[in-house]
Amino acid sequence: MKIIINFFKGLKTTGKTTRMVLFLFIINLLFSMLLAIPMYNSLKNSFGHSEVGEKMAEGFDYLWWQEFRDEAQGLETTFTPSIIGKGAVLNNLVDLIQLRIFDSPPIIIIFVFFYITLHTFLAGGILSTFYQDNPKFTMKGFAKGAGSYFFRFFILMLISWVMLFTITAVLGSVFSPILDKAFDNSQTEVTPFYLVLLFSGIIFFIFLFFQMLFDYARIKIVLEERRNVLIFIPEAFSFVFKFPFSTLGLYFLIFLISIVATLVYILLKDFIPQSSYLGVSLAFFLQQVFIFSVIWLRCCLYSSQMNLYRYLR
């Protein structure tokens, strides 16, 4: 019940600050556009004047892509047929869990790093907005909150990285020999398959858990206005372990909603034929609605978690 109450509270609070979500969405879009422009030029130069352009407008020309891939450098290497719909989401999931993001071209790694840092900056604004008695988004208030918490959030981010990568490395050293053994000694591919699935699930859960844990650390910083960052981590830990069902329940409720949103997006995207300007515009619109909903759910998570924290404290 606590979960539902605070989830709806969070929903309501986020609803009141839709302009903030819109602002965050525009930042995401503009940031992404910085790389989309060179990618557009690459594609245009590659097939713009060729007959391939017509095929690519109608569908996907696999032969062209093979040529493009074989010559691709930097950003271009990220263009694959699997960026469509479900592929985009699944690629990111694999990149996250297996940390394949580090195999990406440097420009993508740098961009992701900057975006995470930027988001750490924005988190201060988001939480300080939700902290108000009557949450209302103003640019001035948002910027003030973002600025005042950035340093502490940044330190938290670095600590979370150290912890995450340490845990991942430890788990990796435990899982790797088991997997190697399973791959080398199995007479069927079924055993290693399930092991990979299990270990991936564990790692994903740990990532999510840490996100939740550090969310509460950030919430505590905003609510309690103390300077010592380090103390918030054990406190967040103890809060989560004191109320595991409520904290995890709320987190996974919103996580579940985001999975449903993703599935709806994937299904709808498959139905839109992108062979005309109208189709492309519709698909683009749907895509932006999806990204907006992802950002909205992230804000909703913050808001609900803040409410839950206040409720349980």
Question: Which is nearer to another protein, 4 or 109 (by Cβ)?
Answer: 109
* Nearer to another protein (CB atom), residue 3 or residue 88: 88
Residue type at 313 in one-letter notation: R
Total Cβ atoms within 10 A of residue 231 = 14
Residue found under tokens 């979960």 = 3
Q: Which of 102, 151, 193, 311: binder of another protein (CB under 8 A)?
A: 193
151 binds another protein (CB under 8 A): no
Shortest distance, position 237 Cβ to another protein, whole Å: 18
Residue 155 or 253: the one with the smaller Cβ distance to another protein is 155
**For residues 52 and 70, what is the distance between their CA atoms, to the nearest angstrom?**
16
Residue whose C-alpha is closest to residue 164's, from 103, 205, 120: 205
Q: Which is nearer to another protein, 218 or 246 (CB)?
A: 218
Per CB under 8 A, 266 contacts another protein: no
Helices (H), the chain: 2-16, 18-47, 52-58, 62-71, 86-97, 106-131, 139-185, 190-224, 232-242, 244-271, 277-312
Contact pattern for another protein over residues 286 through 305, marking x by CB under 8 A: -x--xx--xx--x-------
Residue (257 or 294) nearer to another protein, CB: 294
Q: With CB under 8 A as the contact rule, which of the stretches 3-11, 113-121, 131-139, 225-233 interacts with another protein?
A: 113-121
Residues in 10-39 at the binding interface with another protein, rule: CB under 8 A: 28-29, 31-33, 35-36, 39
Q: Which of 110, 116, 169, 174 binds another protein (CB under 8 A)?
A: 116
Q: And the tokens for 175?
A: 């899982």
Backbone angles phi, psi at 85, to 5 degrees: 50, -115
Q: How far is CA 309 from the centre of its chain?
A: 23
Stretch that binds another protein, among 10-18, 206-214, 228-236, 304-312 (CB under 8 A): 206-214
Q: Is position 90 an interface residue for another protein (rule: CB under 8 A)?
A: yes
CB of 122 to another protein, least distance (A): 7
User: Are 305 and 219 within 8 A, CB to CB?
Assistant: yes
C-alpha angle 81/86/92, rounded to 5°?
85
Identified binder of another protein from the candidate list 167, 196, 202, 223, rule CB under 8 A? 196
| Cβ within 8 Å of residue 219, ≥6 positions away | 127, 302, 305, 306, 309
* Shortest CB 88 distance to another protein, Å: 4
Cβ distance 219 to 240 under 8 Å? no
Q: Tell me if 264 contacts another protein by CB under 8 A.
A: no
Nearer to another protein, 27 or 253 (CB): 27
**Residue 298 Cβ vs another protein, minimum distance, rounded to whole Å:** 7
Q: Which two tokens stand for residue 79?
A: 């263009």
